[in-house]
Structure 1
Amino acid sequence: MAAKFGAAAAKAGKAASSYFGSGLVKAQLVIMEPPAKSGAKPGGRLATVKFQFNPNKLALSKSVEWRRKPARMAGQASLPEFVGSGPRSLSVDVFLDATAEHDNSVEERVEKLMTACVPTKASLAKKKPASPWVRFEWGTAKSVSFDGVLAGLSVDYALFDVDGKPLRATCSLSIEEAGVGTPGQNPTSGSREARRTHRVVAGDSLPQLAWREYGDATAWRVIAEANDIDDPMVLVPGTELLVPGVVGERGEDR
C-alpha cells in the first residue's frame, strides 16, 4: 500500500511540476526553537524540511468541548454548556524518494523530522526540556499554517537498496496547534485570574494539558496542586479538573 501511495505521489508531483513549470510552490515544514516563556512566540528557526513532492491530501480538525448536566425528565435534554475549544490538528503525509541517486537523503530527512520530537539543546541547557515548535507552510495557505508541536510521527519504509539502505519512505505527521492567546481564561469571564474546568478524556496527562493551556508543559504542577494530584501521567477519564488562570514564569498564578 505504501509503495503504491509513494509511486502515485511521485507521479502526481512530476505531473504537477510539468504542468505548472517553475511556478510550482513546494510545501515545507519549519522547525523552530520553543518559546522562551509562556505566551511568547516560538524562537529562531532550527531547520526547514522541504518536501520533495507536495501532499495530495491534508486533514484538518478542531474539537469543541461541551458539558451537560443530566436532565430530570427522561423526555428532555439539558442545554449544553460551552467549556472551550480544542487546538487545531493537522495530519499530512510526506513522501521521500531517493531511487534516482541511491544516496542517504531519505534517512537524513527522516532524522531531521525526528529532531522535532526531542528536546532542543537550548532548552536542555536551561534545564527546561522542550521539543521544537513546527509550522507547515505551503504557499499562501493560511488555515493549515499555524504554530504547533509535532504530536505524532510514523515512518513507513517501502523500498531498499541492495545494502539495506532505505530508498523510499512515507512519513505521517500529526501537528497540534500550540499558539496561546489568553491562557487559562473561562470564556464567560474577562478576569486575568479566571479559572476554568477541564473534563479528562482518555490519553490526557497534566504536562499535555499544561502545554495546551499555558504553552509550558513544565507548569503541570500548578494544575496538580490545584487538584491534589500525585501522578501527572495518570488521570481518570471523566474526572473534572480545575485549571488555574494565567501562569507566571515561575509557575505561580499571577
Structure 2
Amino acid sequence: MGLEHMKIAGYYDGDFTNPIPGDPYKVMINPNTIKWNRKIIYNKQRPIDASKASQKYKNSGIDDLSFDIVIDCTGVVFSKRVDMATEIKTLEDIVYKYDGKIHRPNFVKVQWGSNISFKGVLKTFNTTYTLFKPDGSPLRAKVSLSFEEYVSPKKKCKVEKKESPDITHLVEVVEGESLPQLCNKVWNNPLYYVQVANYNGLNKFRNLKGGQELIFPPIIKS
C-alpha cells in the first residue's frame, strides 16, 4: 500500500455536497503533527445556599484544526511540481480566495486517510519561505494552516431545537452500541430509548449502524 497524502478540497456549500471544479490540493509532504482542539462550554450557576458555582452544560463548542505543511519545489519530492507560485495559488484558490459565486471563500474539507476528516472554513494561512534560488525565487516553504469547524444552519437547527428550553443532542453511533446504552451515556438513564426511537422513526433500534447519526430530542419526563 502506497503513501497516502492529505487532501484539501473546496466546496461551494456548507453541506459539503457541491465541490468546486478541479482536484483537491494534495500536500507534497504530510504534516508531522496535527492539532485538533475541542471544547465544551458551560454556564456557571451558584445556588443561593452554595459557596461555589457549579457548571451546567450549555453546548459543545466549535472545533479547531491546525497543522503545518511543507511545499518543496526542488524537484526531489515531486519532479513535476517545481513552481512555488503555482503551488501557493492552487492552495489559496481552494481555501482562501473570495469566490464571487458564493460571496465568500470556499468551505473546506481536510481529509487524510479514513481517520481524519474535518469540515470547516479557513482561519489563518501563514507562509514562511525557507529555501531560495540564487535569484531569490523560493524553492521551499512552510505553510501554517488553521481551520474552524463549520456546521450548516440546517444541521445546527436539528441539534439546537431552539423552540425547546432543553438541550438536543446529535449523536453519532459507534458500531455495537444500543439505543439504551446511548441514552444512558447522554442522560444517565437508559429508559428514554423509546422516545428517542419514536423521534428518529426507528423500528429496529437494537441493530444500530456504526456512523449513523441520531437526534436525541428534549425528553418529556414522566
The equivalent of 1:133 in structure 2 is 107
C-alpha distance 46-87 of structure 1, shift in aligned 2 (>3 A): farther
The equivalent of 1:92 in structure 2 is 67
Q: 8 Å contact 1:149–1:175 — kept in the other structure?
A: yes
Q: Deviation of residue 107 (structure 1)?
A: 2.1
The code of the aligned residue for 1:81 comes to K
Q: Deviation of residue 121 (structure 1)?
A: 3.2
Q: 8 Å contact 1:62–1:87 — kept in the other structure?
A: yes
Structure with bigger helix share is 1
Q: 1-side partners of 2:35 and 2:91: how far apart?
A: 19
The code of the aligned residue for 2:143 comes to C
Structure with bigger strand share is 2
With the length of structure 2 as denominator, give the TM-score of the two structures: 0.62
Q: Deviation of residue 160 (structure 1)?
A: 1.2
Give matches, 1:202-241, under 5 Å. none
Q: Deviation of residue 71 (structure 1)?
A: 5.7
- Is 1:77 aligned with 2:52? yes
Q: 8 Å contact 2:123–2:148 — kept in the other structure?
A: yes
- Give % identity: 23
The code of the aligned residue for 2:68 comes to D
The equivalent of 1:8 in structure 2 is none
Q: 8 Å contact 2:120–2:148 — kept in the other structure?
A: yes
The code of the aligned residue for 1:50 comes to K
Instruction: Give the structure with higher Rg (CA).
Output: 2
The equivalent of 2:127 in structure 1 is 155
The code of the aligned residue for 1:161 comes to K
Deviations 1:54-110 (A, max 9, x none): 11111111111111135656x732221211111221111110111236975222121
Question: Which of 12, 15, 36 matches 1:33?
Answer: 12
C-alpha distance 107-95 of structure 1, shift in aligned 2 (>3 A): same
Give matches, 1:32-51, under 5 Å. 32-35=11-14, 40-47=15-22, 48-51=24-27
Q: 2-side partners of 1:102 and 1:23: how far apart?
A: 19
Q: Which structure 1 segments of 5+ residues have no match?
A: 1-21, 124-128, 197-254
Q: How many pairs does the alignment contain?
A: 160
With the length of structure 1 as denominator, give the TM-score of the two structures: 0.55
The equivalent of 2:83 in structure 1 is 105
Question: Which of 111, 135, 139 matches 1:167?
Answer: 139
Q: Deviation of residue 45 (structure 1)?
A: 3.1
Q: 2-side partners of 1:172 and 1:132: how far apart?
A: 18
Q: Which structure 2 segments of 5+ residues have no match?
A: 167-222
The equivalent of 1:64 in structure 2 is 40
The equivalent of 1:117 in structure 2 is 96
The code of the aligned residue for 1:92 comes to F
Deviations 1:103-134 (A, max 9, x none): 752221212222222321322xxxxx121011
| Aligned CA-pair RMSD | 2.8
The equivalent of 1:10 in structure 2 is none
Q: 1-side partners of 2:159 and 2:11: how far apart?
A: 30
Deviations 1:118-158 (A, max 9, x none): 321322xxxxx1210111111222xx312211111111111
Q: 1-side partners of 2:101 and 2:17: how far apart?
A: 13
